[in-house]
Amino acid sequence: MITTWPAPAKLNLFLYITGRRADGYHNLQTLFQFLDYGDTLEITPDSSGKITLLTPLTGVSDDENLIVRAAQALKTVAAARGTLPAQAGASIALEKVLPMGGGLGGGSSDAATVLVALNHLWQTGLSVAELATIGIKLGADVPVFIGGHAAFAEGVGELLQPAEPAEKWYLVAHPGVSIATPDLFCDPELTRDSPIRTLDELLQRPFHNDCEAVARKRFRKVDELLSWLLEYAPSRLTGTGACVFAEFDTESDARQVLELAPKWICGFVARGLNLSPLQRTLSGLKAST
């Protein structure tokens, strides 16, 4: 039985870097919201005992692919707690639309969807908190995708508090370059000392991303793209880039600007969502059984 699951994109509506831990990771204060746009996974549970990825990704070996790593990690934890069915296996096909290294969280979202979907299909019975504990080891953004609600995140993304930002329309644009998250965090000019503020304080200030100045300095195309978008609407970098987004009150306003975009810009229009499409799919399946 093939089941279809969304792996939505996220935006970091704001992102502040408040310090650096002894292990080199950076402490953040960031506001995550989902988009009604993302990858799609087709998952067929079976009793082969194996995880088969039917759609390899160029440049990412199957063993490194977060989809396979998430499935294997769930098998290990469920086996240890005695809830893994005998010979639990699955074949998984990925329809990839999110650019890799784009700051839209595609890899983390794929991993979260696999954890949530296989936990349901195999009936391994892990709680959201247990899935998030597996997820954070795969990537800092996996827990928010598992939680399925827009959230204010602190620490490196593991301390989550549900939030209700306005569900705007976004023009999300890719400048045609990829930014590796570790490279950006290594830059000596990165702002790392933003003051720690409460969510209420942050919501009242203009939203900002501390990674943006470094991304604009290092990547001319990011700089050009933001300069162009800022002529039409408030616009920012998401995550560590390379994608940027401009916010609008209506879909048609966002589409009008996308139509004006120079040819080198790839973009799409999507709506911000505080409830993840993954959560909606899971609730629908639970209601129908």
Ligand X SMILES: C[C@@](CO)(OP(=O)(O)O)[C@H](O)COP(=O)(O)OP(=O)(O)OC[C@H]1O[C@@H](n2ccc(N)nc2=O)[C@H](O)[C@@H]1O
Ligand Y SMILES: Nc1ncnc2c1ncn2[C@@H]1O[C@H](COP(=O)(O)OP(=O)(O)O)[C@@H](O)[C@H]1O
| CB neighbour list of residue 245: distance below 8 Å, 6 or more residues apart | 11, 170, 171, 172, 173, 235, 236, 238
In the shown chain, the binding pattern of residues 249 to 288 toward ligand X, with x for contact by CB under 6 A and - for none, equals: ----------------------------------------
Q: How far is the CB of 59 from ligand Y (least distance, A)?
A: 7
Q: Are the C-beta atoms of residues 67 and 27 closer than 8 Å to each other? A: no
CA distance 60 to 178: 15
Angle at 50 between CA 48 and CA 55, to 5 degrees: 115
Q: How far is the CB of 5 from ligand Y (least distance, A)?
A: 13
Q: Which helix (H) or strand (E) holds 66?
A: helix 66-81
Instruction: Pick the binder of ligand X from 8, 38, 89, 139 (CB under 6 A).
Output: 139
Which is the catalytic residue, given 39, 110, 141, 210? Answer: 141
136 touches ligand Y (CB under 6 A): no
**Contact of residue 185 among ligand X, ligand Y, none (CB under 5-8 Å per partner type):** ligand X
Binding site as annotated, residues? 99-109
**CA separation, residue 206 to residues 14, 15, 236 (Å):** 9, 12, 11
The answer to whether 187 is a known catalytic residue is: no
| CB neighbour list of residue 238: distance below 8 Å, 6 or more residues apart | 10, 11, 12, 102, 103, 104, 172, 209, 244, 245
User: What part of residues 211-270 is at the interface with ligand Y (CB under 6 A)?
Assistant: 239
Beta-carbon count within 10 A of 59 CB? 7
User: What part of residues 160-219 is at the interface with ligand Y (CB under 6 A)?
Assistant: 181
Q: Which residue, 66 or 254, is less far from ligand Y as judged by CB?
A: 66
CA distance 77 to 93: 23
Amino acid letter at 158? Answer: E
In the shown chain, the binding pattern of residues 156 to 175 toward ligand X, with x for contact by CB under 6 A and - for none, equals: xx------------------
Instruction: Pick the binder of ligand Y from 65, 124, 209, 276 (CB under 6 A).
Output: 65
Q: Which residue, 183 or 249, is less far from ligand X as judged by CB?
A: 183
The answer to whether 10 is a known catalytic residue is: yes
Binding site as annotated, residues for ATP? 99-109
| CB neighbour list of residue 250: distance below 8 Å, 6 or more residues apart | 169
**Contact of residue 65 among ligand Y, ligand X, none (CB under 5-8 Å per partner type):** ligand Y
In the shown chain, the binding pattern of residues 53 to 92 toward ligand X, with x for contact by CB under 6 A and - for none, equals: ----------------------------------------
Q: Which helix (H) or strand (E) holds 34?
A: strand 26-46
| CB neighbour list of residue 164: distance below 8 Å, 6 or more residues apart | 150, 274
**Contact of residue 12 among ligand Y, ligand X, none (CB under 5-8 Å per partner type):** ligand X
Q: How far is the CB of 56 from ligand Y (least distance, A)?
A: 10
272 touches ligand Y (CB under 6 A): no
Give the count of alpha carbons within 13 A of 263, CB side only. 0
Interface residues toward ligand X, by CB under 6 A? 12, 24-26, 28, 30, 103, 105, 108, 139-141, 156-157, 181-182, 185, 239-240
Which residues does the annotation mark as catalytic? 10, 141
